[in-house]
Amino acid sequence: MLRHALRRLLWALPTLLATSLVLFFVTTLAPDPMRTKTPGAPSGPEVDQARRARFLDLPRFLNLAPEDVRSRAAAAMAHVAAADAESESSAQELRRLGGAALPYVLPALEALEPDARRRVAVALVPLAERMHLSAADDLAQPEAAVLFWTRLWDDRALDFSRPAVERAVRRLAEHGSEARESDVTALDTLALSEVVRAMTPRTDPVTLARLTRIAQHATERGVIVQPEATREETARAVADWSEWWFAHTTDFVALNGASRAIAVVTETRYGKWLKRIVSGELGVSLVDGEPILSKLRARAPMTLWLCALATLVSWTLAVPIGAIGAWWRGGAFDVATSAALFLLYAIPTFVVAELLRRAAPAGPAGATQLTLPVVALAAGSLATLSRWQRTAMLEVVRQEFVRTAWAKGMRAGRVLVVHALRNALMPTVTVAGMHLPTLFGGAVVVEEVFGLRGVGFETMRAIEAHDAAWLMAVLLAAAVTVTLGLVASDIAYSALDPRVRELLGARQGRSAP
Amino acid sequence: MSDGNPRDSVRASIAQVGTEAAPYVTMMRIALVELARSRLARLGGLLLALAALTAVSADLLASDLPVACRWRGATYLLPSITRPAALDGLDCARMHAQRSDGDWILEPLVAFGPSEAPGGAEGLVHPLERGHPFGTDALGRDLFARVVHGARTALSLGFSGAAVLVALGVAMGALAGFAGGMVDAIVTRAVEALSAIPTLLLVLVVSALVPHPTTATLLWTIALTRWTELARLVRGEVLLVLGTDYITAARALGASPARVLRRHVLPNAIGPAIVAAAFGVASIILAEAAVDFLRVGSPDTMASWGESLGEARLYVQAWWLIVFPGAALLGTLVSLNLVGEAARSALDPRLRFESPGSTG
């Protein structure tokens, strides 16, 4: 039994992967800012930033030549050295890559022509200032700049090694001081990976202030957390930094060996997107800047209550209606309920909700607030579920064991409940999972009509704001819930039905399909 | 093709047996007779035909231009459809006012089009007032015209979407069942993944993300995701059929896989396809109405029942905004469900032999 449950769960994994592909395809429907050339639209670096945040600069599924800090630095250096048309923007790029590029730029200086060497050294001068290594005036002469950079590498190459950087940041995080902060500032972007990792919502405010100050100084972007910041501000800043780091990791980290091989798959649009979702980083809402996950957590209870209550109501009504209708099929009750439910089945949920909202007394409050939404949502489910129940019951009533029960002279009530209904419930339980998508869709409409502040209500606001992050999160949450619900009802079915249980037991001797 | 080919002689003898035997009745024939006999199916079909007729003749029922007229010496037939340039800026009321000798006008049933009247818009006219049988909406658009033209929007969208959906479902189901192995596994996963996504939510999200959403966006979204149930059924049918003796016989006779698929396997998919088509049309009409009701995406100038119902949310006192489009929507959905239900029970042999005539 356990084995069956585990196998069923395992089988849900490829399904979830397929779901992720479908949802990824949906995200690609959002317009690429590069392609929408409308006059007056932001352009240049802002567009680049927007594209990178959505990984639009990466290939979709396979990245055979993933870029990292080494390749970026080499390319930028080549442009600066050649003094070609792109040398100005390349010099900027070199400064943006910053300290992380030095271990690759400085050793390569030697191999350059003297003129080229001077150009690169001069291009790096603002960086020296940013790293608090020297004042710009001291390096005004190209010769002085070249001398400064070659000396720096000869003297301090060890400080730029990975263990040294890790140690410096660890010390700062444990016992922060001005001196240690300036140590890390001197490493510039080289320390970013450790610095961003050390930022967590639980880090103490003073350290967090130091860390964000260093990161802001090195990248010339983002926010600095003040020591007296509120908890929400801190959480938001940390989320912002980790999201930025996630999109820009390879700008400051070199890929080699195994990490390069993995990057072929992970440094892609789909890879990044999936990794972010699996690690629970769903981004920040466009509507109010709140992290998606905490917003989802805040809104989900209302929706889940709505769905759970509606399910409860519709089941308690649907099972007897369907069972009794099938038992006395063709009778007055069957005909009446069938006709009524058929009509109910055709009425869209939004019309039911709208009519109920009008019928409601003005300003419902308190516990009664949920009554009408639940009724509206249950109405749609009731029609579907009772028809399933009726069909299942019709099937069972025909079975031999029911006839046997009659033949033994059993009371009608006992035959109905013990022999027929119990068996007729099984198929309904299995298909109940299939009803979940309709239920979720209905919940969106019902929440919108009644103004209940659940997930559906927020989704409508997100649609108005074109908030892709929230919409994807909701679609994903719904799809995962439905998949797991289907698995659960499947396992429940095999656990409840002795025939299936036996079948599984017999099959377990053989190899799994 | 020589006479000595044993295969040909077998074929000939089989053909002979076929002609000698009693005229055989196909599954489809039984089902169609069954369908025609069911009263509820006939009711559904009648309602559906009525809706289709309304959709086709929408321009004759409600239009701002006449059905036929003679204007300034020229005769126009069906100007409501052809929209001649000479009648630009005119509508029935103005033509009556500016009429000169020799001009005549044959008005449609209701002399208003579904879009905004060019004259001053007077919002929310009660039904039966000022020539508006169903009243008007808040923009002064005639509700009768919007309901009638909404039928055109809904049905054309529903039927074209269902055509794509059915084609995809049958193709994928047959592919999965027939090819088996890896292809089957992939299609099955795709079916599971797609059916886990709530349709309405997906439609809403897609119309929010696509730069310029239209009704075609909605159509494709539903058609590309809702083929799953049909594919599952078709796959089941195919697997069932592939195990039968007549397939073995057909193969033994040297039928190519393509012939087996076309002659022996696909006819079994017609049943589920008809049922899926009926419910597919219903689900697309429903989704379109829901999306317009929630006012998602760009404001569409096309008349739609959902849009009128959405307006009813804003003007609670205007009961006609919910009654007439609601009745049209409900009637169409009921008729489609009746036809689908009847087709389902007519095609299910177990239900048929157990209960002659009971469909509903």
Q: Which of residues 288-347 of B touch A (CB under 8 A)?
A: 289-290, 293-294, 296, 309, 312-313, 316, 322, 326, 329-330, 333-334, 337-338, 341
Whether residue B309 contacts residue B329, with contact meaning beta carbons closer than 8 Å, is answered with yes
Whether residue B51 contacts residue B155, with contact meaning beta carbons closer than 8 Å, is answered with yes
Do residue B313 and residue A16 have CB atoms under 8 angstroms apart?
Answer: no
Q: How far is residue B148's CA from residue A263's CA, in Å, rounded to a whole number?
A: 58
Per CB-CB distance under 8 Å, the chain B contacts of A444 are 200-201, 204
Q: How far is residue B348's CA from residue B31's CA, in Å, rounded to a whole number?
A: 9
Q: Report ipTM for this prediction.
A: 0.79
* B100 has a pLDDT exceeding 80: no
Do residue A441 and residue B313 have CB atoms under 8 angstroms apart?
Answer: no
Do residue A445 and residue B200 have CB atoms under 8 angstroms apart?
Answer: yes
Per CB-CB distance under 8 Å, the chain A contacts of B354 are 398
Top residue of B204, B228, B284, B339 to mutate, by most chain A CBs within 10 Å, is: B204
Per CB-CB distance under 8 Å, the chain A contacts of B289 are 348, 350
Per CB-CB distance under 8 Å, the chain A contacts of B319 are none
**Residue B142 pLDDT grade (very low, low, confident, very high; cuts 50, 70, 90):** confident
More confident residue, B114 or A408: A408
Of B197, B199, B210, the CB nearest to A22: B197
pLDDT attached to residue A37: 52
Helix (H, G, I), strand (E, B) or coil at A389: helix
With tokens 């929706």, the residue in question is: A303
Q: How far is residue A366's CA from residue A348's CA, in Å, rounded to a whole number?
A: 27
Whether residue A63 contacts residue A250, with contact meaning beta carbons closer than 8 Å, is answered with no
Per CB-CB distance under 8 Å, the chain A contacts of B192 are 15, 18, 483, 486
* B355 has a pLDDT exceeding 50: no
Of A17, A26, A441, the CB nearest to B199: A441
pLDDT attached to residue B183: 92
Whether residue B176 contacts residue B233, with contact meaning beta carbons closer than 8 Å, is answered with no
Size of interface A-B (CB pairs under 8 A): 142
* B1 has a pLDDT exceeding 50: no
Q: Locate the chain B residue with the closest alpha carbon to A463.
A: B208
Top residue of B39, B200, B217, B224 to mutate, by most chain A CBs within 10 Å, is: B200
Whether residue B302 contacts residue B215, with contact meaning beta carbons closer than 8 Å, is answered with yes
Would you call B182 an interface residue with chain A, using a CB distance cutoff of 8 Å? Answer: no
Of A15, A27, A358, the CB nearest to B192: A15
With tokens 């209960």, the residue in question is: B355
Mean pLDDT of B285-314: 80
Q: How far is B358 from chain A (nearest CA, A)?
A: 9
H helix runs in chain B, sequence order: 6-20, 27-37, 39-56, 58-61, 79-82, 92-97, 143-179, 181-195, 199-209, 215-225, 228-242, 245-252, 257-259, 270-293, 305-314, 320-347, 349-354
Element (H, E) at B108: none
Do residue A438 and residue B198 have CB atoms under 8 angstroms apart?
Answer: yes
Q: How many CB atoms lie within 10 A of CB B226?
A: 25
Per CB-CB distance under 8 Å, the chain B contacts of A30 are 209-210
pLDDT attached to residue B360: 30
pLDDT attached to residue A103: 84
Q: Which of residues 359-398 of A touch B (CB under 8 A)?
A: 398
* B3 has a pLDDT exceeding 50: no
Kindly give the pairing relationship between strand B104-106 and strand B74-77: unpaired
Q: How far is residue A208's CA from residue B105's CA, in Å, rounded to a whole number?
A: 81
Per CB-CB distance under 8 Å, the chain A contacts of B360 are 338-339, 342
Four-residue CA torsion sign, A395, B229, B47, B145: positive
pLDDT attached to residue B292: 86
pLDDT attached to residue B332: 92
Q: How far is A270 from chain B (nearest CA, A)?
A: 17
Give me the long-range contacts of A396-399 (CB less than 8 A, separation at least 24). Answer: A396/A420, A396/A423, A396/A424, A397/A326, A397/A327, A398/B354, A399/A423
The per-residue pLDDT string of chain A (513 residues; one tens digit each, 9 = 90 and over) reads 778 888 888 888 888 989 999 988 888 887 776 655 555 555 566 677 777 777 777 878 888 888 888 888 888 888 888 888 888 888 888 888 888 888 888 888 888 888 888 888 888 888 888 888 776 667 778 888 888 888 888 888 888 888 888 888 888 888 878 788 887 888 888 888 888 888 887 778 888 888 888 888 888 777 788 888 788 788 878 878 888 888 888 888 888 878 888 888 888 888 888 888 887 777 778 777 777 888 888 999 999 999 999 999 999 999 889 888 888 888 899 889 988 888 888 888 888 888 888 877 655 555 567 888 999 999 988 988 888 888 888 888 888 888 888 888 888 888 888 888 888 888 777 777 888 888 999 999 999 988 888 899 999 998 888 888 888 889 999 999 999 888 888 888 777 777 777 776 655 444 443
Top residue of A351, A459, A482 to mutate, by most chain B CBs within 10 Å, is: A351
Whether residue A277 contacts residue A480, with contact meaning beta carbons closer than 8 Å, is answered with no
Q: Which range (A194-198, B4-8, B326-330) has the least confidence?
A: B4-8
Would you call B198 an interface residue with chain A, using a CB distance cutoff of 8 Å? Answer: yes
Region(s) of chain B under CATH 1.10.3720.10: 24-58+148-358
pLDDT attached to residue B267: 80
pLDDT attached to residue A511: 41
pLDDT attached to residue A512: 40
Per CB-CB distance under 8 Å, the chain B contacts of A459 are 201, 204
Whether residue A439 contacts residue A378, with contact meaning beta carbons closer than 8 Å, is answered with no
Residue B330, phi then psi, degrees to nearest 5: -60, -45
Per CB-CB distance under 8 Å, the chain A contacts of B201 are 440-441, 444, 459, 474-475, 478
Per CB-CB distance under 8 Å, the chain A contacts of B206 are 26, 29
pLDDT attached to residue A467: 85
Do residue A27 and residue B296 have CB atoms under 8 angstroms apart?
Answer: no
- Residue B203: closest CA among A479, A303, A377, A475: A475
**Residue B300 pLDDT grade (very low, low, confident, very high; cuts 50, 70, 90):** low
Sheet holding B104-106, edge to edge: B74-77, B68-71, B104-106
Would you call A122 an interface residue with chain B, using a CB distance cutoff of 8 Å? Answer: no
Whether residue A434 contacts residue B195, with contact meaning beta carbons closer than 8 Å, is answered with yes
Angle between helices B215-225 and B199-209 in degrees, nearest 10: 140
- Mean pLDDT over each residue of chain B, to the nearest integer: 80
Would you call B192 an interface residue with chain A, using a CB distance cutoff of 8 Å? Answer: yes
Do residue B206 and residue A437 have CB atoms under 8 angstroms apart?
Answer: no
Would you call A21 an interface residue with chain B, using a CB distance cutoff of 8 Å? Answer: yes
The conformation of residue B355, written as its DSSP 8-state character, comes to: S
Residues pairing with B74 in the sheet: B71
More confident residue, A438 or B211: A438
Q: Which range (B49-58, B84-93, B198-207) has the least confidence?
A: B84-93
Say which amino acid occupies B59. D
pLDDT attached to residue B118: 56
pLDDT attached to residue B84: 76
Of A36, A437, A468, the CB nearest to B209: A468
Mean pLDDT of B292-297: 79
* B116 has a pLDDT exceeding 80: no
pLDDT attached to residue A393: 86
Tokens of B357: 């005539």
Q: How far is residue B65's CA from residue A187's CA, in Å, rounded to a whole number?
A: 77
Do residue B197 and residue A19 have CB atoms under 8 angstroms apart?
Answer: yes
Do residue A445 and residue B294 have CB atoms under 8 angstroms apart?
Answer: yes
Do residue A444 and residue B193 have CB atoms under 8 angstroms apart?
Answer: no
Helix (H, G, I), strand (E, B) or coil at A403: helix
Q: How far is residue B346's CA from residue B41's CA, in Å, rounded to a whole number?
A: 10
Residue B71, phi then psi, degrees to nearest 5: -135, 120
Top residue of B182, B192, B292 to mutate, by most chain A CBs within 10 Å, is: B192
Of B190, B206, B338, the CB nearest to A29: B206
Q: Which range (A221-230, A486-495, B112-121, B127-136) has the least confidence?
A: B112-121
Topology given in CATH for the domain delimited by B24-58+148-358: MetI-like fold (1.10.3720)
DSSP of A314-372, one letter per residue? HHHHHHHHHHHHHHTTTSHHHHHHHHHHHHHHHS-HHHHHHHHHHHSPSS--GGGGGHH
Per CB-CB distance under 8 Å, the chain A contacts of B208 are 462-463, 466, 468, 471
